[in-house]
Amino acid sequence: MTWNVGGYLVLTVLATDNISSSSKQFSARFCSSGDTSCVEFTIHNVTRRESGPVICSLQGEYGSKTAQLYVQDSAVSEQFQLEPLHSTVLQGSDVQFKATVQGILQVMTWNVGGYLVLTVLATGNISSSSKQFSARFCSSGDTSSVEFTIHNVTRRESGPVICSVQGEYGSKTAQLYVQVPKPPDWTVLIALVVSIGGFALLVLLILGIIFCYKRRKEKQPNYQDEMSRRVRTQISVVDAAGQRQGQANAGYVPEGQTSVELSDSGFFQANGSNILEMPDVVNSNQVGNDYSSAYNTVDKSGFRKHRHATIV
């Protein structure tokens, strides 16, 4: 008697009561001692690989019989978990998925966007297609876990993320959604900066005008101050000239007076007048002085008349 599972011969029973199996997963025994007409065939730790036809054949006239084995997923999902199954992230950020396997892990693969991007071996070796994809392997007892990370996510990575475990565990699929952030609205900030800048420029312009006006006022005194300064200057010049050249003219004779008398003291006394006058002695060195102009005349009586004219 032979037993075939998944198209492979897995166990043989001889008439001599000898039983040979391809692995510990498959075993058989006779229903009762010494009775070779009944055989019990057992498949241990059933996986999806064993799903399908189970064929029992007898050499000779009996031929073969076929049974159908169905394996439900709920017996596998407890040994292989993937989380999260749905993930929504912003473009440019990182996203992480975690796969946990109960039992022996041989090879685990990760597919993103329909492409194989990372492979994890039971030895802990990890190979990645690019630096954008990385993984961290952790094993404790009969439990193995892999943390798979996609760095700097773009819209190209949106869609299914498939984690597959070769062997009895099959594959799990998670869905990745990538959101593109909206560009920031700078309208309010720009308006605020322009307003503050315009106000500051206006203040600086006003201060500049005030400063220039004050400087101009300091350089150009008003008309009254200028005239007062000129009058004070001319008075000072006249006073200085009078102190140097001015003197009393004791010999001045008014017009219309023709006779004078000489007294013992050397003074002249005009007729009809009580005024004593000294004859005018004109120093030739004083003629043409810059500070005053003198007109010298001699009348018929022989006396010199000396007149001063001062121009202010």
Kindly state whether residue 254 falls inside one of the protein's structural domains.
Answer: no
Domain that holds residue 8: 2-69
Two tokens at 173?
Answer: 């699929």
Kindly state whether residue 10 falls inside one of the protein's structural domains.
Answer: yes
Q: Do residue 97 and residue 141 come from a single domain?
A: yes
Could you tell me the pTM of the whole model? Answer: 0.40
Task: Using alpha carbons, select from 111, 129, 109 the residue that is nearest to residue 120.
Answer: 109
Q: Do residue 173 and residue 89 come from a single domain?
A: yes
Kindly state whether residue 74 falls inside one of the protein's structural domains.
Answer: no
Domain count of the fold of the chain:
4
CATH number at residue 95: 2.60.40.10
Give, for all 312 residues of the chain, the pLDDT tens digit: 999 998 889 999 987 778 899 999 999 988 877 677 788 999 998 887 888 899 999 887 788 888 888 877 657 745 888 999 898 999 999 999 999 988 777 899 999 988 999 999 888 899 999 999 999 998 877 788 999 999 999 988 989 999 998 866 788 899 989 887 777 777 888 888 888 988 889 999 998 888 888 887 776 656 666 677 777 776 665 555 555 555 555 555 555 555 444 444 444 444 444 444 444 444 444 444 444 444 455 555 555 555 656 666
